[in-house]
């Protein structure tokens, strides 16, 4: 499942993924009478791209520091051995139905392969979201993929609407601070009114600041951009590593261009058969599973800072803490307070990776003592907020792509009717994710599909890697993706572990299987299990 709009590019130790409350969904699937413009994301074959674009020459230069929209920071450091990161821009049609018309600039990054004599081509990464900046993210994990750099240039990009690729702009920093302080789980009519007004104001900001781009930022156009990038890089086939939402993007690419697939890996797999309601409920179940595992681990340890002799007792204590924060926030960072909604976001952030469980334990303990700084910092990482108070555009891009893709919309009444199912899926995250169903209600662009078509007859084998303990993209998604890709195309690999994604989860078995496939073309037997 693609992640939703209130939990942002999470646990940096895992992968960049966005969990804002998911795109909206309705029983009838109409546009609510809003007169929304159509999304330009049809899976019909586009008009041929002009040769002046497919043959364009890229001007690679040393990479600058990430922009504010990409998340700020410093220029990427060279890789071990001294290889530097290079950046460039590629022109792509704004509208592939009008390929000779206006173009958009897409930001790119690469690190050259170590063995140029044995070089296979460019391995293109998408780290998820939608909304994550590949240009800012790839250098953070460059050493994790160093084995793959023996035969590939490592390449990533900011998809259209993301980061430096003419990033979508919505609300300003001050308005976003207020938005994230708002109660995300309204309990009465007045809170519901405030929730709807805030959502309406946010969408109006998106339309005012980026209305001309919003119809063109969907996943189908991003897949077409990848095929253009393949050609511009000089590769006959696409070599691809997609993570989280990047698996959906990879599946859509394979459907559009099955004959152009070379070797592709999909890790932390979105379920392409689920609509937005089903995906949101699945994500609630996934985060509840991760919380169950965290609290069970805590209860078994004598040194755990949280009270409770069982997993259930620890969770009851957490639920009590969140209820207290709804009534009385505690001091956070500077003049900012930790609210219930921000605390829930912070908890989810730390559940993306087992490596961040100690931070979660510490943050909960400190919040109980009146210091909400750590949980607020974890929430900020998901919400895209830097220490200087500026926000990147990942959540704006996330909303734009989700709403351009999904045609489903939820009314206030339908959302409230669905809440019991969410509460059953997760006592902690249910309300939080359930209210997120309204994220696209009133969006100015009508979505393209209920679920994406990822069938890819004639494609080369695609390795689909599922993690049984993944909170954000539940394990069942891998089996569904492999089946939808088609017999002989989707090759399923299972990792029995924790965290979002498997390749960087510490499993030598997974890494050997993926490396052997990408570097040597050795296709694992479908159904292989790594402990």
- Top pLDDT among 37 and 64 is at 64
Question: In the prediction, which pLDDT does 47 show?
Answer: 64
Q: Is the pLDDT of residue 12 over 50?
A: no
Strand runs labelled E in 372-526: 445-446, 462-469, 490-498
Quick one: DSSP state of residue 40?
S
Q: Is 470 a catalytic residue?
A: yes
Share of the chain above pLDDT 90, in %: 88
- Burial status of residue 338 (CB atoms within 10 A of its CB: 0-12, 13-18, 19 or more): buried
- The pLDDT-based confidence of 40 (bands split at 50, 70, 90) is low
H/E/C letters for each residue in 369-419? CCCCHHHHHHHHHHHCECCCCCECCHHHHHHHHHHHHECCCCCHHHHHHHH
165, 244, 280, 349: the active-site residue = 244
Neighbours of 500 (CB within 10 A): 31
Question: In the prediction, which pLDDT does 50 show?
Answer: 86
**CA dist 80 to 12, 112, 114, 338, 530, Å?**
21, 12, 11, 40, 29
381, 406, 500, 507: the active-site residue = 500
- The mean pLDDT value for 114-119 works out to 93
**Residue holding tokens 């998820």?**
128
Give the pairing of strands 103-111 and 86-93: antiparallel
What is the Cβ-side half-sphere exposure of residue 6, based on CA atoms within 13 angstroms? Answer: 33
Quick one: DSSP state of residue 58?
P
Take residue 377 and report the two structure tokens written for it: 């910092």
Q: Pick from 162, 47, 43: which is nearest to 104 by CA?
A: 162
Beta bridge partners of 201: none
Q: Pick from 285, 12, 244: which is nearest to 130 by CA?
A: 244
Q: Is the pLDDT of residue 221 over 60?
A: yes
Q: Is 500 a catalytic residue?
A: yes
Q: Is the pLDDT of residue 350 over 60?
A: yes
What is the Cβ-side half-sphere exposure of residue 180, based on CA atoms within 13 angstroms? Answer: 32
The reply to whether omega before 130 is within 30° of 0 (cis) is yes
pLDDT, tens only, 152-163: 999 999 999 999
pLDDT, tens only, 394-404: 999 999 999 99
Q: Is the pLDDT of residue 352 over 60?
A: yes
Q: Is the pLDDT of residue 528 over 70?
A: yes
Question: In the prediction, which pLDDT does 7 show?
Answer: 38
**CA dist 242 to 248, 385, 464, Å?**
8, 25, 10
Neighbours of 78 (CB within 10 A): 13
SS3 label, residue 292 = helix
In angstroms, rounded to a whole number, what is the distance separating the alpha carbons of residues 339 and 332?
9
Q: Is 67 a catalytic residue?
A: no
In angstroms, rounded to a whole number, what is the distance separating the alpha carbons of residues 154 and 148?
8
Q: Is the pLDDT of residue 424 over 80?
A: yes
Q: Pick from 263, 272, 248: which is nearest to 513 by CA?
A: 263
DSSP code per residue over 135-177: HHHGGGGGGGGTTGGGTEEEEEE--TTSTTTT----S-HHHHH
- Top pLDDT among 230 and 43 is at 230
**CA dist 369 to 325, 330, 366, 430, Å?**
12, 9, 5, 26
Question: In the prediction, which pLDDT does 36 show?
Answer: 79
In angstroms, rounded to a whole number, what is the distance separating the alpha carbons of residues 177 and 362?
24
Q: Is the pLDDT of residue 68 over 90?
A: yes
Put residue 428 in one of left, alpha, beta given phi > 0 → left and psi -120 to 50 → alpha: alpha
Question: In the prediction, which pLDDT does 29 show?
Answer: 39
Strand runs labelled E in 304-346: 330-331, 337-338
Take residue 263 and report the two structure tokens written for it: 């070797």
pLDDT, tens only, 289-345: 999 999 999 999 999 999 999 999 999 999 999 999 999 999 999 999 999 999 999
Q: Pick from 199, 247, 344, 285: which is nearest to 472 by CA?
A: 285
Q: Which residues contact 77 (CB under 8 A, 6 or more apart)?
A: 139
Q: Pick from 211, 194, 152, 201: which is nearest to 175 by CA?
A: 201
Q: What are phi and psi of 153, to 5 degrees?
A: -70, 130
235, 380, 470, 515: the active-site residue = 470
Neighbours of 307 (CB within 10 A): 14
Beta bridge partners of 467: 495
Give the pairing of strands 337-338 and 445-446: unpaired
pLDDT, tens only, 353-366: 999 999 999 999 99
In angstroms, rounded to a whole number, what is the distance separating the alpha carbons of residues 383 and 89?
27
Question: In the prediction, which pLDDT does 23 show?
Answer: 31
């Amino acid at each position: 499942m693609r992640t939703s709009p209130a939990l942002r590019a999470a646990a940096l130790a895992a992968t960049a993924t966005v969990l804002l409350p998911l795109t909206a969904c309705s029983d009838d699937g109409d546009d609510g009478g809003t007169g929304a413009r159509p999304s330009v994301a049809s899976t019909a074959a586009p008009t041929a791209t002009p040769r002046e674009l497919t043959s364009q020459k890229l001007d690679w230069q040393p990479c600058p520091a990430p922009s504010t929209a990409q998340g700020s920071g410093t220029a990427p450091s060279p890789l071990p051995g001294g290889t530097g990161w290079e950046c460039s821009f590629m022109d792509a049609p704004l509208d592939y139905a009008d390929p000779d018309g206006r173009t958009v600039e897409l930001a790119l990054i690469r690190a050259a392969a170590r063995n140029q004599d044995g070089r296979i081509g460019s391995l293109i990464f998408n780290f998820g979201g939608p909304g994550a900046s590949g240009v800012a993210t790839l250098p953070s994990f460059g050493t994790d993929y160093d084995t793959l750099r023996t035969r590939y240039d490592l390449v990533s990009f900011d998809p259209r609407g993301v980061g430096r690729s003419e990033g979508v702009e919505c609300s300003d920093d001050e308005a976003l601070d207020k938005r994230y302080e708002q109660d995300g789980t309204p309990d009465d009519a007045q809170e519901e009114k405030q929730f709807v007004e805030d959502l309406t104001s946010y969408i109006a900001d998106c339309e005012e600041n980026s209305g001309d781009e919003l119809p063109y930022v969907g996943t189908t156009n991003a897949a077409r951009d990848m095929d253009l990038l393949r050609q511009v890089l000089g590769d006959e086939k696409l070599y691809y590593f997609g993570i989280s939402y990047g698996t959906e993007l990879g599946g859509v690419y394979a459907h559009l261009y099955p004959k152009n697939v070379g070797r592709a890996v999909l890790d932390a797999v979105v379920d392409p058969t689920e609509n937005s309601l089903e995906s949101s409920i699945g994500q609630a179940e996934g985060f509840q599973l991760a919380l169950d595992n965290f609290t069970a681990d805590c209860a078994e340890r004598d040194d755990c800072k949280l009270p409770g002799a069982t997993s259930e007792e620890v969770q009851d204590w957490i639920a009590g803490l969140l209820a207290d924060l709804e009534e009385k926030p505690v001091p956070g960072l500077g003049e900012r307070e930790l609210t219930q909604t921000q605390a829930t976001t912070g908890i989810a952030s730390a559940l993306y990776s087992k490596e961040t469980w100690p931070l979660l334990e510490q943050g909960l303990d400190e919040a109980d003592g009146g210091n909400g700084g750590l949980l607020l910092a974890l929430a900020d990482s998901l919400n895209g907020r830097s220490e200087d108070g500026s926000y990147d555009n990942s959540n704006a891009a996330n909303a734009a792509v989700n709403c351009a893709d999904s045609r489903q919309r939820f009314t206030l009444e339908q959302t409230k009717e669905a809440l019991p199912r969410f509460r059953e899926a997760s006592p902690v995250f249910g309300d939080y994710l359930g209210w997120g169903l309204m994220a696209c209600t009133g969006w100015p662009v009508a979505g393209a599909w209920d679920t994406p078509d990822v069938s890819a007859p004639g494609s080369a084998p695609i390795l689909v890697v599922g993690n049984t303990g993944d909170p954000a993209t539940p394990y069942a998604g891998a089996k569904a993706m492999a089946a939808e890709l088609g017999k002989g195309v989707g090759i399923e690999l299972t990792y029995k572990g924790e965290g979002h994604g498997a390749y960087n989860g510490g499993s030598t078995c997974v890494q050997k299987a993926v490396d052997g496939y990408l570097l040597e073309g050795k296709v694992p037997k479908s159904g292989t299990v790594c402990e």
